[in-house]
A and B are shown apart, each in its own frame.
Chain A
Amino acid sequence: MNLINTFFNIDVLIDSLPQLLWGLVVTLQIGITSIICGLAGGLLLAVSRLYAPRVIKLLIHGYVDIFRSIPLLVLLIVVYYALPFVGILLSPFLSAVTALSLVSAAYSAEIFRAGIEAIPRGQFEASSALGLSNKHTMIDVILPQAIRIVIPPLTNNCINVLKDTALASVVAMPDLLKQATQAQALAANPTPLIGAAIIYVLLLWPMVATVARLEKHYSRGRS
């Protein structure tokens, strides 16, 4: 009984629910913005790496490696607490979106690159032989096939971005986790934290299940 009152206190949960839902909205705003920026950035990096001059290729290679090595929490703190010293002052929202997008772009770039490399050389050759420009080869021939292949890993990456939005609470962003910790302090009861955890699971479980289904679907044979 005591345990239920401590962790699943219905009154506390109902009181804190509006606050948690506002937190969810903020979490989704950060997550969706970062996912879009990360995907667009990753695609741009992957395609540039294919056609750009050697120097740019090396720079992109370096970018991808560095941003896959740096812990997201460290990057976020650098963006929020260190950049102001050189005059770059980003709001908590922009700091979170910037850090998440930079890292997500690096991972997405690798995923897109793997997808593009999986397309047989004959597809590039047939496009060239027809006189298609690099741009049209990518847009009409290669990417529609490559993106289909990488939908499962890309979705996985989106799940990671959504989960990592919780780190934004360290830069005082009122996201789901931050709202939950505040509600917990206010009510002197950890039920809001449990509520937040449940909301995260409810949000991400369907996506996780979708990835599993997609992976099964794609491995069942593409002809």
Chain B
Amino acid sequence: MSQPGQTFISIRNLNKSYGTFQVLHGIDLDIDEGEVVCVIGPSGSGKSTLIRCVNHLEAFASKSVISVDGIRVEPGDALAKVRAEVGMVFQSFNLFPHMTVLKNVMLAPMRVRKTDRVEAERKARELLVRVGISEQAEKYPGQLSGGQQQRVAIARALAMEPRVLLFDEPTSSLDPEMVGEVLDVMRKLAGTGVTMVIVTHEMGFARQVADRVIFMDSGRLVEAGTPSEIFDTPKEERTRSFLRAVLNH
């Protein structure tokens, strides 16, 4: 078990290609327990691919090494252990449309952790209160707004009591007026000590919440630092031009 401040996710020489097109070039990155990391960068820079490698939703080059809490991420029995510790929230929510909100949140603890139904339901209702949608527990995902669905998805990920939460552009497919409610939930989470890796285009949120901001471009990790280092005094010209483009519009 790692302690707060110790390396929790370790990424070494991460390479990934789709056919002949290389999307990630030798990424090295350590993320500490309890750290909140925001990954920013232009579309197609490999941000999403990077975090999707952490729980092996994307396979990566065999010489690359990712480990989570000391467990190597690779196909096989250990992967289930990693995935139980790593929650993920997707851009398109990916809720299970044929189950009620409550069942969506209860499923994984019951099947993976073997939690009994009563306890799983108690926990699920508690989480739905925490993300502010307890009244919608018996509804189906299709009956909810995008913002509400994404908050259910966060509750579903939290139900496994993960030690890391990966967010893959969690607000990118939301109507503007719903972005705030999801960011609020994430902001509260950041204060609870859970490790978070967030791919986002919300620069204000990144500046406010992140312990560290990572700027990626063309599959390379260009620059990493505190929010003020990246946003106020970026060292790389590529970072500066990206920030100019996204902040001045």
Contacts and interface: CB of A to CB of B under 8 A. Distances in A.
B87 A129 contact: yes
Contact of A126 (B96, B98, B142, B166): B96
A128 B142 contact: no
Interface string B35-63: 00000000000000000000101000000
A140 B107 contact: yes
A8 B166 CA distance: 74
Contact of B55 (A129, A132, A144): A129
Interface stretch (B78-86, B194-202, B228-236): B78-86
Contacts of A132: 107-108, 111-112
A120 B97 CA distance: 11
Contact of A125 (B57, B86, B95, B107): B57
B94 A122 contact: yes
A131 B94 contact: no
A141 B103 CA distance: 11
A131 B95 CA distance: 15
A128 B92 CA distance: 15
B90 A130 contact: no
Contacts of A145: 96-98
A148 interface: yes
B86 A129 contact: yes
A132 B88 CA distance: 13
B160 interface: yes
B199 to A, nearest CB: 14
Interface in A156-190: none
Contacts of B95: 126
Nearest to A145: B98
A2 interface: no
Contact of B142 (A125, A129, A130, A223): A223
Given A140-B107, A145-B97, A148-B98, A131 B90 contact: no
A123 to B, nearest CB: 6
B98 A144 contact: yes
Given A122-B92, A122-B94, A145-B98, A129 B112 contact: no
B228 to A, nearest CB: 32
Contact of B57 (A128, A133, A140, A148): A128
B151 interface: no
Contact of B83 (A123, A128, A136, A223): A128
Nearest to B56: A128
Q: Shortest 5 CB-CB distances between A and B: which pairs?
A: A126-B94, A122-B94, A129-B88, A130-B108, A131-B83
Interface of B: 55, 57, 80, 83-84, 86-88, 90, 92, 94-98, 107-108, 111-112, 142, 156-157, 160, 166
24 contacts: A122-B92, A122-B94, A123-B94, A123-B96, A125-B90, A128-B83, A129-B57, A129-B83, A129-B86, A129-B87, A129-B166, A130-B160, A131-B83, A131-B84, A131-B108, A132-B111, A132-B112, A133-B111, A133-B112, A136-B111, A136-B112, A141-B107, A145-B96, A223-B142
Interface of A: 120, 122-123, 125-126, 128-133, 136, 140-141, 144-145, 148, 223
